[in-house]
Amino acid sequence: MSSILTNNGAMVALQTLKSINSDLGTTQGAISTGKEIASAKDNSAIWAISKVMESDVAGFNAVEDSLALGESTVAVASTGAEQIVEKLKEIKEKVVAASGENVDNSKLEADVNELKAQITSIIGASQFNGANLLNTAGGDITVLSSIDRDAAGAVTASNITVTSVDFEAGLDLSTVDMTDSATAEASIDDIELLIDTATNGAAALGASAARIADQKDFISKLSDSVTSGIGSLVDADMEEQSARLQALQVQQQLGVQALSIANQAPQQLLSLFR
């Protein structure tokens, strides 16, 4: 049955055209923003997951900053500790020389006193942003190393604690006495102990520095991986969207033509009354 009041063909064509226009708008939005899921209305579940992961990436950036600060602090202390080891080796040379006969102990002692003063200066100067791992006042430092999220969504912070080697208290340079050959010879064991203490401290700082550097590298790679994962969830496939855009544009043209044809159907009824 044909009717001039109800045009079923035009209604179907109009609904089809509306659907095509809606899909075309979605595709154009994906192309313009570069995201297939740009807001919660696009896909609320995936959007929520992506936002949680983005917050984790922001946390990883803060962790990287903390690790960089800790790495610099430990690097300064490690450099100072290694330099102190070298100065103690120089003192050992002087002590061994002073233990011999027919040497000027006073001059050797003066050299050693200068080296002691230099060691004290190195300990005081080995600080970064006020943190010093070589003196008593500095104490241990805690470096934020990770932000961990469990299956339930709870977030906890992990830390790396770098223990102070405290050369200020651990290196008693007063035990080195070079008044004469006898006292100098007796001080050889003392300087060996000092060198051993300084070497162990420098090694401990080196191990901590390596751990922080490894963790920093891991967090950087983890952040990149999570960012890539977010992209796979919400980013638009531009090749696919481009092909879809062209297909929808053709469908839109055909839809307009179909609607036009459907609207002409009532006009054909006039021929029946001529």
56 alpha-carbon distance from chain centroid: 11
- Site of tokens 């006042």: 137
- Say how many CA atoms lie within 13 Å of 122 toward its Cβ: 23
Task: Please check whether residue 252 is in contact with residue 20, taking contact to mean a CB–CB distance below 8 angstroms.
Answer: yes
Q: What's the confidence (pLDDT) of residue 3?
A: 73
Q: Where are the alpha helices (DSSP H) in the chain?
A: 8-33, 44-98, 105-125, 167-170, 181-234, 238-269
146 vs 63: CA distance, rounded Å: 6
24 vs 8: CA distance, rounded Å: 24
CATH number of 51-235: 1.20.1330.10
Task: Please check whether residue 201 is in contact with residue 167, taking contact to mean a CB–CB distance below 8 angstroms.
Answer: yes
Q: What's the confidence (pLDDT) of residue 159?
A: 96
- Site of tokens 């027919």: 102
Task: Please check whether residue 141 is in contact with residue 152, taking contact to mean a CB–CB distance below 8 angstroms.
Answer: no
Answering whether pTM is above 0.85, one says no
Q: Helix 105-125 vs helix 181-234: angle between axes, to the nearest 10 degrees?
A: 20
Residue extents of the structural domains in the chain: 1-34+236-274, 51-235
Q: What's the confidence (pLDDT) of residue 75?
A: 96
Q: What's the confidence (pLDDT) of residue 274?
A: 64
14 alpha-carbon distance from chain centroid: 53
Q: List 144's β-bridge partners, or say none.
A: 159
Q: What is the pLDDT along the chain (274 residues), one digit of tens a residue?
A: 667 777 888 899 899 999 999 999 889 988 988 899 988 988 999 999 999 999 999 999 999 999 999 999 999 999 999 999 999 999 999 999 998 888 888 899 999 999 999 999 999 999 999 999 999 999 999 999 999 998 888 999 999 999 999 999 999 999 998 888 889 999 999 999 999 999 999 999 999 999 999 999 999 999 999 999 999 999 998 999 999 999 999 999 999 998 888 888 777 777 777 6
